[in-house]
Amino acid sequence: MRVALGAASALALIFAHPAAAKDVTLKLTAQELDLPIDNKGTMQASWTFGGQAPGPLLRVTEGDRVTIELTNDAKNKNSHSIDLHAARIDVVKDFEPVKPGETRTFTFIAKYPGAFYYHCGADPMYQHIARGMFGVILVDPKDPNALPKADREYVLVQSEIYPNPDDLHSIMKSEWSNVVFNHTAFKYDPVHDPEATKMLVAKPGERVRVYFVNAGPNEFSSFHPIGGIWDSVYLSGNPANRRSGLQSLVVGPGDGATFDLVSPVPGANVIVDHAMPHAHTGAMAVIMFSDDADPAMGRGDNILVR
Ligand SMILES: [Cu+2]
């Protein structure tokens, strides 16, 4: 009898806590290296998290206790830091710049679910962002049914490319040459750039969830799917902030949102920043709906398509 009661209590505990909070340690390394900024392979001296822009996709669950360990590679010339919009901490202590060769850790509780921006906050912050130091941290809701199940997920980070990021005034005056998704002009748009080799894909009827962050550093985005309508939009990616049937949502620099798209028909949509100078310098991404869509895309390691 005592055993039976014990089992029942254990079951009750499991169902009361479908996603028990975890301790998660996320390790990042700041690296300074050259990265391509277009499909031709034009290189630019960049500052990055993990040698990539956007940096690694970080993913935790609401309620997790998250420890960030940031190492600044000893080969770097500049101090770097990390500022996560998912965290509530002491900005002076925890977001402090880390010198080359040093490591800093801090811990926070991921209290709010959402699609959050992270970026370097070392001075001048706008230069570090313009050079590529940005990424996304997803905080999944602890209730697995808080959002409808997505069939595919994609991450798009908007940012501006500056021809000479050493010229700080050019960044402050927003003298960018391109506005892009995932640090490359027309990265997923073979329609506007024949040298593009990638697209986002899904099947008609599938729920495609796009986690969008605007890294800026300066420009607002009017985020729209040409040929589609956002079925649901969650401001900041929080399930409590649902909107439905939106054509566009303005996402300012430093903000993010989660967008669900469902196409009833095969064919293409083009996800854009509807501001024309932004779209036509690189902020366009084709999503192709077809019944033979590659099942590996929008899943696993292909959520942030490199
Ligand atoms: Cu930095």
Question: Do both 285 and 220 map to the same domain?
Answer: yes
The pLDDT score that the predictor gives to residue 10 is 45
List, for residues 63-77, the tens digit of each pLDDT value. Answer: 999 999 999 999 999
Taking all residues of the chain, what is their mean pLDDT, rounded to a whole number?
A: 94
| Residue 112 sits in the same domain as residue 79 | yes
Q: What is the pLDDT of residue 5?
A: 41
Is residue 18 in some structural domain? no
CA distance 59 to 246: 26
User: Are residues 292 and 163 part of one domain?
Assistant: yes
User: Is 253 part of a structural domain of the chain?
Assistant: yes
| One domain for residues 289 and 157 | yes
Query: Is residue 159 within 8 Å of residue 256, measured between CB atoms?
Result: no
Least confident of 47-61, 89-103, 133-147: 89-103
Are residues 191 and 297 part of one domain? yes
pLDDT in tens, 35-71: 999 999 999 999 999 999 999 999 999 999 999 999 9
Domain that holds residue 97: 23-140
Reported as a single tens digit per residue, the pLDDT across 158-205 is: 999 999 999 999 999 999 999 999 999 999 999 999 999 999 999 999
Confidence of residue 140 (pLDDT cuts 50, 70, 90): very high
- The residue out of 119, 140, 161 marking a domain boundary is 140
Give the distance (Å) from ligand 1 centre to CA of residue 262: 37
The pLDDT score that the predictor gives to residue 215 is 99
**Which residues lie near ion ligand 1 (Cβ < 5 Å)?**
80, 120, 122, 128, 133
Distance 71 CA to ligand 1 centre (A): 11
In a domain, 81, yes or no: yes
Q: How far is the CA of 84 from the centre of ligand 1 (A)?
A: 13
Say yes or no: 136 and 156 in one domain: no
Mean pLDDT of 247-259: 98
% the chain with pLDDT above 90 = 92
For residues 163 and 289, state if they share a domain. yes
Domain count, the chain: 2
pLDDT at residue 82 in the model: 97
Query: Do 202 and 264 fall within a single domain?
Result: yes
**Looking at residue 17, what is its pLDDT?**
55
Q: How far is CA 186 from CA 110, 197, 224, in A?
A: 33, 10, 15
In a domain, 183, yes or no: yes
Q: Are residues 184 and 85 in the same domain?
A: no
Kindly indicate the confidence band of residue 18, based on its pLDDT and cuts at 50, 70 and 90. low
In this structure, the answer to whether residues 68 and 188 fall within a common structural domain is no
Facing residues of 255 across strands? 214
Q: What CATH number corresponds to the domain at position 203?
A: 2.60.40.420
> 267 CA to middle of ligand 1, Å?
40
Give the distance (Å) from ligand 1 centre to CA of residue 258: 26
